[in-house]
Structures are given as C-alpha cells and as structure tokens.
Amino acid sequence: MAEDSIAVVDLDRCQPDRCNYECANFCPPNRTGKECIVPREDRYEENEPYEGGPKQVSISEEICLGESCGICVEKCPFDAIEIINLPQELDEEPTHRYGENAFALYGLPAPQEGKVTGILGPNGIGKTTAVRVLAGEIDPNLGRYNDPPSFEQVLDEYRGTELQTYLESLESGDVTVARKPQYVDKIPDQFSGNTRELIESVDERGVADDLVERLNVAPVIDQDIDTLSGGELQRVALAATLVRDADFYFLDEITPYLDIGQRVTAARLIRELAEEEDRSMLVVEHDLAVLDLLADSIHVAYGRPGAFGVVTPPKSTKNGINEYLKGYLENENMRIRQEAIEFEEHAPRSVRTGARDVLVEYPAMRKSYGDGEFTLEVEAGQIRNDEVLGIVGPNGIGKSTFAQLLAGRLEPDEGDLDTRLDISYKPQYVEIDQPMRVDAFLSSITDDFGSSYWNTEIAQPLQLERIMEQSLTDLSGGERQRVAIAACLSEEADLYLLDEPSAHLDVEQRVLATRAIRRYTENHGATAMVIDHDIYMIDLLADRLQVFDGTPAEYGHAGEPVGMREGMNEFLANLDVTFRRDERTGRPRINKPGSKLDREQKNAGEYYYAPDADEE
C-alpha cells in the first residue's frame, strides 16, 4: 500500500463466525499467494494468543493495494473494514496508534499558559485521545505500537515546538491536570454523596463558595448527586473541575444541558481562570457561539471518525471556525467536507402554507411539585398542524414539565387538559439499558424500518448505518441521542416532542439532525415541538417560538407561542444577551457584554435578527 494509506479493522464489528472470510477470499494479493488479509493471531500470535473460536482478520498495509482496490471493504458483510487514502498533505508519522489496523491520531493541540485553546471537530476523531496524551494517561507511540519509542524519541519528534516544553514538564511531574468529563450523567455512578461533599473534597484553590454562587449551584448544594438534573450535574462538574489547583484544565463539552445564560457564565469563568491565574485551558466544544466567545485559538480536528484523526496547528478562533464551517482548511489546502455548513443571515421565514389549522388548543394550566417548591403556570395557546414549535428558556423553568403535561406523563393541578393526541416523546435524558441491538430496537418501533423511505429520511441523516448492529448498552452519548431521535420520528404520532436533541452531537450531526426533523415534518405534514438550548438549531428548525421565563427551580411561566422575531427578542432580552452575524458565514456570534454592537442592538430591540455586522 502507498505510504499515505491505512487499513482499519473494527474488531467490534468483525464477526468471522458469521461470514466466510469474503474479505480474504476476494483480496487480489491473497489470490496471487501473498498474505495480505490473514487471521489476526497468525501475525501476532505471541502478543495476541489465539483463545479458540473464529479468527478475526488483520490487513498488511505494506501489501494492500489501497483505497483504489477496496474489494475487501465491499465484500465485508459487517462493514468492519476501511481502506483510507490519507491526505497527501499529511507527511508525518502518527502521534499515536492504538494497534494494528486501529485508530491513528496525527498531531496534538498545544496548550498555552494564560490562554484558552479550543478544539473543534466531529465526534470519534481523536480529540479525547489527544487530551489523554497531554494529560499523561497515554504515552504517544508515534505509530510504533509494536516497538514503542522512548521518551527522548518522542521529545525529538516535537523538538523546537511548544509541545516540547509541555511534554518535558509533564514527564518531570511539574504539570498537574484537572479534567471535566464529557458525559456528566455518569457522575452519579462514580460518586455517592451530596454536592457539597463532592466540591469541597476537591477545592484546592479555596474558591468553592464563589463558584457555587456564580454557577448557581447553591440551590442543590446539599442534594445527593444522584438526584440532580443534567443541567445541575453540568454546573457541579464545572465547579468541581475549576476549584482544582491545576496547571492544565481540560473541559470536554461544557454546554450540554446548560441554557444560554449559563453557557456565557461558564465561558467567562474559564476565561478568567486563564487570564487572571495564568492557567492553560483546553476546551472541546460544539456550540460555536460559546467556543467563539471563550477561545483564544482553535485547533481543527478532521479525518474519518473511528479510523484516523488529524489535529491542525492553531488558527485564530474566527478563521478556524469559519474554515471548519466552509469545509476547507486554507493553510492545509485540505477539503474536509464536500458541502459548507451555512447559516441563514436574515429574519426568519414566514409560516409555511398549510400551517394555519389548529392541531390542539390547550387551556391555561398550573402544575406544582411538592409543597409549592416549584410551580409552572402555562398561558393558553395553540399548536398548529404542520409546524415546528421551538421552546426556549432557562433551565429549571418548567420546559420539560410542559412537555410531559402534553405527553400525558403528568397531570395538571389546574386546567382541563384533554389533548387526545398520539404523542411521540424523546426525553431530555436518554437512558437506554435494553440489551438488544439498535436494528432490533428500531424495527420493533416501526413497520417502515429498512425501507427506502426510512433509510433516506431517518437512518442516513442521523448516520445510523454503522451502529445498527451494536448493542444499545454499548453506544456513546451522541450515538444514543441519534437513536432516540430516530425512535421518536419512527413512531406514528400526531405530535413529536423532542427534548434537547442537540446534546452530545457535534456540529455536523446537529445540522443533519435538524434537517432530518424538519424534513420529516414537511414531508408528513407532521407537527413537532423542540426544546433546545442551541440557538441556531432552534432558529433553523422552528416556525414559531414559545418562551419560558420566571425564577429557576421556584416559578416558571410559559407564554403563548409567538413569531420567531418576537420570541427570540423576548427570550434573549430576559438573558441580557445579544447575537451578531459573522460577515462571512452568517453564523451567530455572541456580542461581548457592553460592546458597541451589544448596546446598539439592545437599543434597537434586535437581539438576534440584526443586520450583518462585525464587532469592533
């Protein structure tokens, strides 16, 4: 194989007990007597002893003819093989490779003291692997997984770069690391106790009280960790990470389950710690507006998820995000996506033709929990046929409660709610613990499973093909989210309720999920309600907006649905946040509080749909 190609075998998908070794039998080099595709233990019997049963395969990258052949890829019945031509511009050895025919990472981000460094890229592209190397959890093998290099050899690879100094400090033990996990919903599985005990046990800087107040953790400070919501867990995880006294902070997805106000607060805290304490901050984030607000520079990660990933040298935050959206990296002369991710630059569309008929008219309602601990009041309103209704508001304000009222999972204390609707509901927290395969799960929901229509409208946009044969319990957070969205859309229903469908999805997956939801409603004349904190996802999806306000965890008020401009202005005015549009891409960007554009837009009452402008 050419030096710029790799072969990847997914051992979780390779099932030799269910095939006839089509990959090896049809391989052209094998048919000429060469050993290109062979039983795995035959090649590394000493390191990977054969324990009986069918034998998975390995592929010789030296013998393989490369992507231009691809016969084994086509013949494998389980989609377990990838033969990939690496970018011609990639002339370096891997930073780390997990083994033969396994994932390879090229390049590393470079932490800088007193700076916030962002990483932007798809899921499964090696961002966490890069951070594990920087945290000292993985010794980079420079692709030599059978003969790992010494530390001096690794250091030679990065001599003369900022990474040399960092790796030397890491090796000598002079660098301490604090990490915020990606999936905060797993924290209760790792810690038993209340919030106060967790935060105080790691408060090395003596700033717990300040962070508890600013992140609004005080209301749950004495609650058990396993009783917290996703948004509460996210804020507790941020507090527990930022109270640590570390040189290098790694924050993996700070925005899931946080509302816009909380996201801005988190971004400000991270920037303050970098600037005032001279700490190195590395942030992986898919909310482009927040990443734009907090990062000093951006590393773009690209490649083939699960196969290889490349981390670019740092770029300016604005250029890095814009190039990623455009799908073309200028310095690298690399196209990473065929189509650009585009944003609407002007005011929202008018309501679609045919969306004026009323699907359901619900009454004014009231719902309280406990002894008046939280009360939600809902104004009477209408949900129309053939529309997507966006629902926005702070956390703890009753949005999910409203969804559950409509879904019949809760009964109102006041108000005669009798919707008589078939409702398909995707909850905020996706808990899938059924020991069954994805394809079996989805086929149990719809008779359309596997049809041309279902594959085109649901499976392909949600990128489900490669996980169909995986067990539900083995899925990542993003994979669970996509399966849950597919399950919701696969049911026959009058109303589709999707609670935070963007959580744990990367930028491209959010765009694809948005298209899938909107296309489904348009093609079926269906009605959907989408609760989400990703402002652009709501803007792209929604025909109208319902705004929730009040005092989180105490009182919530749900207004009647209104037009997008009116709703967005009301919502962002409550949060005292304005957005501008990037002059090149039209993407939403948060204005710095008190800036000229921020003041001008507030005076004009245009918090989101403002004319294109670049902030001074």
Q: How far is CA 440 from its chain centroid?
A: 25
Secondary structure (DSSP) of 485-502: HHHHHHS--SEEEEE-TT
Task: Return the residue matching tokens 């998975």.
Answer: 56
Task: Give 206's DSSP letter.
Answer: S
Q: From CA 563, how far away is CA 348, in angstroms rounded? A: 9
Residues of the chain with pLDDT under 50: 1-2, 43-47, 49-50, 346-347, 353-355, 615-616
Check if the beta carbon of residue 121 is closer than 8 Å to that of residue 105.
Answer: no
| Total residues belonging to the chain | 616
Mark out the alpha helices in 317-406 (DSSP H runs).
317-326, 399-406
Distance linking the first and last C-alpha atoms of the chain = 51
Q: From CA 448, how far away is CA 326, in angstroms rounded? A: 35
Q: Where are the beta strands (DSSP E) in 242-288?
A: 248-252, 280-284
Check if the beta carbon of residue 199 is closer than 8 Å to that of residue 243.
Answer: yes
Provide Rg for the chain, Cα atoms: 26
Q: At what angle do helices 477-490 and 507-524 cross, to 10 degrees?
A: 0
Check if the beta carbon of residue 356 is closer than 8 Å to that of residue 536.
Answer: no
Sign of dihedral through CA atoms 604, 610, 615, 616? negative
* Strand, coil or helix: 321: helix
Sign of dihedral through CA atoms 192, 193, 197, 198? positive
* Strand, coil or helix: 378: strand
Among 260, 261, 262, 283, smallest CA distance to 271 is for 283
* pLDDT given for residue 549 in this prediction: 93
* pLDDT given for residue 338 in this prediction: 86
Q: From CA 541, how far away is CA 463, in angstroms rounded? A: 19
Q: Which residues pair with 298 in a beta bridge?
A: 118, 315
* pLDDT given for residue 238 in this prediction: 96
Among 539, 261, 268, smallest CA distance to 388 is for 539
Q: What is the pTM of this model?
A: 0.85
In tens, the pLDDT along 56-67 reads 999 999 999 998
Among 430, 434, 442, smallest CA distance to 471 is for 434
Cβ neighbours around 499 below 10 Å, total:
23
Q: From CA 443, how far away is CA 432, in angstroms rounded? A: 16
- Residue 606's contacts (CB-CB under 8 Å, 6 or more residues apart) are 569, 578
Secondary structure (DSSP) of 238-272: HHHHHTS--SEEEEE-S-TT--HHHHHHHHHHHHH
Strands 495-499 and 423-426: parallel
* pLDDT given for residue 490 in this prediction: 94
Q: From CA 264, how far away is CA 331, in angstroms rounded? A: 31
Exposed / middle / buried, residue 411 (Cβ in 10 Å: 0-12, 13-18, 19+): exposed
Check if the beta carbon of residue 178 is closer than 8 Å to that of residue 136.
Answer: no
In tens, the pLDDT along 250-278 reads 998 899 888 888 998 999 999 999 998 89
Secondary structure (DSSP) of 75-132: H-TT--EEEEEPPTT--S--SEE-STT--EEE------TT-EEEEE--TTSSHHHHHH
